[in-house]
Structure 1
Amino acid sequence: MYAIVNKFKYKSGKSDPSMMVLKCCGNLCPWRLYAVRLKDSELFEIRSIINNHTCSVNVRGGYQTQATASVIGELMKTKYCGIGAGPKPREIRKMMRGDHDVSISYWKAWKSHDLAIDNCQGKCTDSYMQLPAYLHNLVLANPGTIADLHTERSQDGENLFKYMFLALGASIKGYEALRKVIVVDGTHLKGKYAGCLLTASAQDGNYQIFPLAFAIVDSENDVSWEWFFQHLASFVPDDPQLVIVSDRHPSIYKGMNEVM
């Protein structure tokens, strides 16, 4: 980022795991930096620097190539923390062009967008790895909660995420006082691994939406909806007065008839 802000291009003169020497790309330019790695750390400390340039404008014009996707992703990561979705790729292009006088392609902006989210919020794969511990602690903190994580074993012997069901204990207890009318539906998820969100909700005495349960599945199909209804039936018993409202998706109708 220092090179981009000061508009010059550098190269590695010498480097190994313990030290690095950076030089300006101009053949006769004296700019030079020497840094060493701190003991038991990933950080490098600058020990000496010759901080003046005599290179031509043409040589220094190559600084834009140093604005890699990883550099831009690190620069933009704070904009994806907290509330809000953060800037979109086309907005990242405008910001880099306006703030740093760097033109980047849409593909690089998109890659930077993904890396910035990973740097700030963590990677999707890491979040999936934390699901078992998260659901376990959620059940301990909320007595009566029903949580189930269904996985499938891959050819490499790894457990891969398949389905997840969650119904909080407060929702289960609250259902006892509600009218026996449940609305079920599914919606597509946007993200790297896609999938569908299945929901079941009711209406409380104040005519407000009362969430009962939700599940993450691969898609709206016969198997996933049947799996969802099997877990829903654990606290929503079959009753002559029970009414289930849906968009008449064939898989919902089939799964409901199989279970309830």
Structure 2
Amino acid sequence: MRFESKQQLSGAVRMWSINHNREFRVIESKSNTWFAKCKSSIERTPSTSSYPPCDWCVRAVKKKTHGMWQITKWVNDHNCLGDMIRNNNTSLTASVISRHILRSIEDDPGLKVKNILSFVKENLKVDVSYKKAWYARRTMVEWSHHSDSLDRIKTFKYVFWAFGPAIEAFHMCRPVICVDGTHLRGEYKGKLLVAVTQDANNKILPISYAIVDEETISSWSWFMEQLRYNVALDRHPICVIPSAVWRHESSSALTRSRG
């Protein structure tokens, strides 16, 4: 089999493992090679050491002739006790779940975590934790298109995104946000808007991003609206600091500490 990218390759192996209730570990992942083995052959315990290690493995290489990833070795069957493990396959990650529930989230942004658990159980035959299902739901992406866009042809205007772990971490940080924008370089022009905060160790934590055409009242208002609704809905009040003030205060604090 051939795949256009390493991500597509690993995704196919992951879905095969989920469908067969098996788990694997990536042993080697380089620019031109990818190798994975059965999890049980790596994480052997005293209770399983008396059994021979599982032979299942898969190896793929990126061929120079056609530039695609091609599977060069595939052991189709497991000879381990994988069928006896609990039905909580670690191959089913939050990102995999998010791809399966994306359409449901679009239809119902308020989709409850318990419904996601039921969906995964029914369609993928895997039991997952509440936390994993919550992470799958909490990666937010919002799009805004030009008003002259057609139903089947959308003209890009704005996009906002925030990652689930960052959203959760923000609720344990100070209710202070710094916002800033910068130019995008390269083939596609535009502006990148970012909101960051500081954790308890005074480390910078990026919490949300947006790509817009220009820094205008409209684009900044849209960004702040998405930030409030998708990241900080249950936190009030919040102090928002422009980047210039943030840099000035950080510089002053550094000068005082050196003095």
TM, length-normalised to structure 2:
0.45
Question: Normalising to structure 1: TM-score of the pair?
Answer: 0.45
